[in-house]
Chain A
């Protein structure tokens, strides 16, 4: 069983700028400190016996709008100060985009994917006034839990902070 995370980003400059700035402002206003919100991307998780090339084909043919979006399979944080917060539906909550995706993957003739899920990735960059990674992780998770997701149906996972 393999698992791929696919990040789909808007190519256009300034996309989701309003929301990014709002997140930065809210983080600061709520007293968590200063944090840079680098981007917000759609996130997909594919599970099954699929290959890297199949994951890329799915990304190209189904997930990405070839004019306005780009994609990366299994991206890693670019530096030690960059980290992701991934927001997913909790187990048992209907993920209709994930269900449609699974169906679409079968429609293009790929039968190796057994699970598909849809989420959101928010990429942050650590700033100088928030150097303690442990404290920062707590703060970010608390902030996201309280402000960017609905804990009744969603949960988040932080990746990349050392």
Chain B
């Protein structure tokens, strides 16, 4: 093989191998570099730059999920005893195993394609994927977030033989606003600017693509100041007979969509490494939604005419990953001179590795090329013939007659050495909440502080920038009520206008619990995603979930131990609820270095996204109070679980017990509530999460512009083990598996019979006068709903 861009590798020492990996931004470990070295020693030649870049991208944590697929030596220290287990593929033994054991018939494609797919009905499937785009968003929030949502939309366009995107969702974790600059943060974009531009990026891309953004969350925590998390998700509609794809040798490799520039080169390896200063602008990608929208139209038309046999998107690693992935069972020859470029001067390896956006790669039978090109022409989409699939088992890349890459695909995909990591978990000693008294804050003052807390306060200024109506499918939207102020728990979409069927989308995330115990964080996140889904009319029977792990430095055994704990909870609670995981993504090593070189990790974060099918979207309900005189009932049990709560945060208290989830009890409550909603017995329903009962009550009043009179004197609650007044505990505990429901007086007895007596507590009634009054032996607080709304919306107003 002749090449002018060979890299001397075979003669390097271990130290030199590592140095080379670092200099070239390959993020390959010594074991991986040695495996590559051995391969080329056997080949009796040196690698080319394209080959090394291709291997580095393919073997990156971003693409290969090395940690989750590697061996993990896990030690758990509990009650003075040590327990050890070696996981031979953590993902397989937890998340995927739960799905396999549940073996749900409605799961049509799980963990094998660009997205998970469940059955909507006999003809259609629902595809769902959530991705993260963290490091790019830290550097250039607008471009990073825009390409984050653009990328996950392409995942849906490239699942099976292509799905039509029908909804987007997004969750952002950013640093707290108003932080003083310090040594650690002096060169970073402030959280205010990061969030503003992230929102702009998601808004511009989603709106321009004509896809509604229906569901999401925003969390503020100092731990995300340097390394924000940007989760973007898309739901798609796909015919069930278009789920399978298969590449055959002899078919053409065709690329459609955007031109290729230097955008995002080294994106995959960069996303697997720590953020440092002085990064190149070539790492930044800027998206173009219009180009992607046009490419989508081509795909949907060509799919209906059965013009291609496989498709995937160009994501991390660009053509190297997309072509390499499609060619994994056969082989491919690629001619880089056929790639349309944004500008001249790109080296062959740059063309091959570029992460320029809006590109899709298809496998096309030769006979269909002319028709396909005609569709591209009518939709004004650039189409280029990159090469063809072969049966050689090799990836061959040429440029102007010269071969630059000749790799054994088996080595490329399976030659990576297994990662081995140590993980350690010490059972946390539950320290009592560090309650400080005298207690000057009255219950009403605490409620006001909670309502103003950025995690809880209205996100109106964000939501109103997104189009959540386009395509005309939105049934339950982000806001509800008299003046569209009440925050709904989940989104409901009517999937097709000739059917009442629909999908429910929700999410659960709470990194505060992870600081105390990632196991219970994961359990609570699953519980939260599901109870949100149940609140609007979803059900467990057709529900599937997605995991998105964002973790810190997994080379630290204790941080790795937390990841194992969270994965174990995913297995346990997926099984408890009978809800399978269908897709997921991990983003590890979310770390950054300050000027002194000190490495920091983000808070352990797990986003759970849930999707469920509704047979009749007319049965969906919202969270706003509907009518004066109706009864207000608490479903579920309240416990003294104030650790990691927003109550503890606004009081500046640490420690305490995080909420635990009783999986079986929770599942029974969810099934019962779901049935009651489907029978029309519940007028409104709101899940209890951040800020507990007090916040949920306020939000329901705000949504309905109605008041409520609540009497806690009849409520039986466990006595407080700390000095927290029991009323505050009852109002602000974040115990899992609880809802507030509104019942017509005629329905109270019937609904009461459905639930266990200790999980059905009548609190009071909806009141015509818009005043929220809560009393126990004496009045704890009495606020006008307008005042509560003013406080709850104050954060949003300050950002508008």
Contact = CB atoms under 8 A, between A and B. Distances in A.
Nearest 4 Cβ contacts at the A-B interface:
A96-B288, A94-B286, A152-B281, A153-B281
Contact of A96 (B139, B193, B284, B286): B286
28 contacts: A18-B800, A89-B286, A90-B281, A92-B261, A92-B281, A93-B281, A93-B284, A93-B286, A94-B261, A94-B263, A94-B285, A94-B342, A94-B356, A96-B286, A96-B287, A96-B288, A96-B289, A96-B291, A147-B193, A150-B139, A150-B140, A150-B141, A150-B142, A150-B197, A152-B139, A153-B140, A153-B143, A153-B281
B189 interface: yes
A152 B261 contact: no
A152 B286 contact: no
B288 A100 contact: yes
A95 interface: yes
B288 A150 contact: no
Nearest to B287: A96
Interface string A18-32: 100000000000000
A11 interface: no
Q: Does more than half of chain A's interface fall in helix, strand or loop, or is it mixed?
A: loop
Contacts of B291: 96
Given A92-B281, A96-B289, A99-B288, 8 more contacts: A94-B263, A94-B342, A96-B287, A96-B288, A147-B193, A150-B140, A150-B189, A152-B139
Contacts of B189: 150
A100 B290 CA distance: 8
Interface in B99-148: 139-143
Interface in A91-140: 92-96, 99-100
A92 B284 CA distance: 11
Contacts of A93: 281, 284, 286
B286 A95 contact: yes
A92 B142 CA distance: 16
Interface in B170-192: 189
A117 B279 CA distance: 24
B262 A92 contact: yes
A153 B291 CA distance: 21
Nearest to A154: B140
A102 to B, nearest CB: 12
Contact of B140 (A18, A95, A152): A152
A94 B288 contact: yes
Nearest to B797: A18
Interface in A37-91: 89-90
Nearest to A95: B286
Residue among A89, A93, A100, A147 with the highest chain B CB neighbour number at 10 A: A93
B297 to A, nearest CB: 16
Contacts, number: 45
A104 B285 CA distance: 22
A100 B287 CA distance: 12
Contacts of B141: 150
Interface residues of B, number: 26
A147 B285 CA distance: 21
Contacts of B261: 92, 94
Interface in B256-287: 261-263, 279, 281-282, 284-287
A93 B143 CA distance: 10
Interface of B: 139-143, 189, 193, 197, 261-263, 279, 281-282, 284-291, 342, 356-357, 800
Contacts of A94: 261, 263, 285-286, 288, 342, 356-357
Contacts of B342: 94
Contacts of A147: 193
Contact of B284 (A95, A99, A100, A152): A152
Contacts of B800: 18
A150 B143 CA distance: 11
Contact of A153 (B284, B287, B290, B356): B284
Contacts of B357: 94
A76 to B, nearest CB: 30
Contacts of B197: 150
Nearest to B286: A94
B6 to A, nearest CB: 27
Residue among A18, A147, A152 with the highest chain B CB neighbour number at 10 A: A152
Contacts of A153: 140, 143, 281, 284, 286
Contacts of A18: 800
Nearest to B147: A94
A11 to B, nearest CB: 20
Contacts of A99: 288
Contacts of B286: 89, 93-96, 153
Nearest to A107: B380
A93 B264 CA distance: 10
A31 B286 CA distance: 33
A89 B261 CA distance: 15
A48 B766 CA distance: 67
Residue among B140, B141, B289, B800 with the highest chain A CB neighbour number at 10 A: B140
A18 B140 CA distance: 23
Nearest to B259: A99
A46 B282 CA distance: 25
Contacts of B284: 93, 152-153
A93 B296 CA distance: 24
Contacts of B193: 147
B199 to A, nearest CB: 13
B438 to A, nearest CB: 36
A52 B140 CA distance: 35
Nearest to A94: B286
B795 to A, nearest CB: 14
B279 A152 contact: yes
A95 B189 CA distance: 21
A112 to B, nearest CB: 21
A94 B282 CA distance: 10
B147 to A, nearest CB: 10
A152 B188 CA distance: 11
B174 to A, nearest CB: 16
Contacts of A90: 281
A152 B289 CA distance: 22
A99 B285 CA distance: 15
Nearest to B356: A94
Nearest to A99: B288
Contacts of A89: 286
A151 to B, nearest CB: 9
A64 B330 CA distance: 52
A86 B286 CA distance: 20
Contacts of A152: 139-140, 279, 281, 284
Contacts of B287: 96
A150 B284 CA distance: 11
Contacts of B279: 152
A105 B637 CA distance: 64
A89 B342 CA distance: 16
B659 to A, nearest CB: 38
Contacts of A92: 261-262, 281-282
Contacts of B356: 94
A98 to B, nearest CB: 10
Contacts of A100: 288, 290
Nearest to B342: A94
A99 B189 CA distance: 27
Contacts of A95: 286
A99 B358 CA distance: 14
Nearest to A152: B281
A94 B287 CA distance: 8
A153 B263 CA distance: 11
A71 to B, nearest CB: 21
Contacts of A96: 286-291
A94 B76 CA distance: 49
Contacts of A150: 139-142, 189, 197
B130 to A, nearest CB: 24
Residue among B141, B282, B286 with the highest chain A CB neighbour number at 10 A: B286
A95 B282 CA distance: 13
Contacts of B143: 153
A25 to B, nearest CB: 11
